[in-house]
Amino acid sequence: MHEAPLRLDLQADELLTTTRTVRKRLDFDRPVDRALITECLEIAFQAPNGGNMNNWRWIVIDEPDLIAQIAAVYQAAALDFEASFGDAGYPGAHVEGADRIESSTDHLRANLHRTPALLLPLFAGRPEKAPNFMQATQWGSILPSVWSFMLALRDRGLGSAWTTAHLWREQEVADILDIPSDRYTQVGLFPIAYTIGTDFKQARRRPADQVIGFNGLPPRQPKKKD
């Protein structure tokens, strides 16, 4: 029986500024109804897409064995990503809060196999050899919908995390799910779960005057002295 979703009924500005990538506060033990996932996806489908072509496909994985297989690929792909840093180490290590991000990422990696469901968005075609215009059109025709999906989850007491690590081993996931990889591009992998609490806050971001420029790039910021 479909459980009536909790509706937070957040005002637009709060919804937009408190929808987070959620890792440590995903409730891996509470099931999520397929009808609720479908409801959130139907909202996401209303986001704009190029020419209204709807050249997307959305795979929801909720079979535990498949989730476990994909979680294993995600784990291995994350190690591939880490190996790509070389001696220089993670390029974002200097960012404030990087240690917390690393801790929460490790938590998700260790528990992804427990998530109630995963979402794998795809778009038709392969962008690798396409001109920039076509690449921008392909990505721009699905990313707004993915974000809308995360907003719809948030307003219903659920959360997700925008992950892309598995794309280092995209073909392995394609093989698991029988996806013709010459015809479809995987966009990311999104765990779906209720959140532990709903009191999310705004995240740290650079001040607007550092990143906004009117009629040109914003002024360069002086480097901080050691």
Long-range contacts of residues 198-206, Cβ cutoff 8 Å, at least 24 apart: 198/6, 198/8, 198/157, 200/18, 200/19, 200/20, 200/22, 200/154, 201/18, 202/17, 202/18, 203/20, 204/96, 204/97
CATH domain 36-91+117-197 topology = NADH Oxidase (3.40.109)
Backbone φ and ψ for 16, nearest 5 degrees, come out as -70, -30
| Helix ranges, 93-224 (H) | 98-111, 132-140, 143-154, 170-177, 208-211
How far is the C-alpha of 40 from the C-alpha of 24, rounded, in Å?
A: 22
Residue for token pair 């440590």: 24
Angle between helices 132-140 and 143-154 (to 10 degrees): 20
Burial bucket for residue 78 (CB in 10 Å: 0-12, 13-18, 19+): buried
Q: Where are the domains of the chain?
A: 36-91+117-197
Note the residue count of the chain: 226
Residue 108's CB is within 10 A of a number of other CB atoms, namely 22
**pLDDT-based confidence at residue 102 (cuts at 50, 70, 90):** confident
Whether this prediction's pTM lies above 0.85 is answered by yes
Q: For residue 37, give the nearest of 14, 62, 12 by alpha carbon.
A: 62
**Per-residue pLDDT tens for 12-35?**
999 999 999 999 999 999 999 999
**pLDDT-based confidence at residue 1 (cuts at 50, 70, 90):** very low
For the chain, the average pLDDT equals 92
* Angle CA 113–118–122, to nearest 5: 135
Q: For residue 37, give the nearest of 199, 162, 185, 159 by alpha carbon.
A: 159
**Per-residue pLDDT tens for 154-194?**
999 999 999 999 999 999 999 999 999 999 999 999 999 99
pLDDT given for residue 221 in this prediction: 79
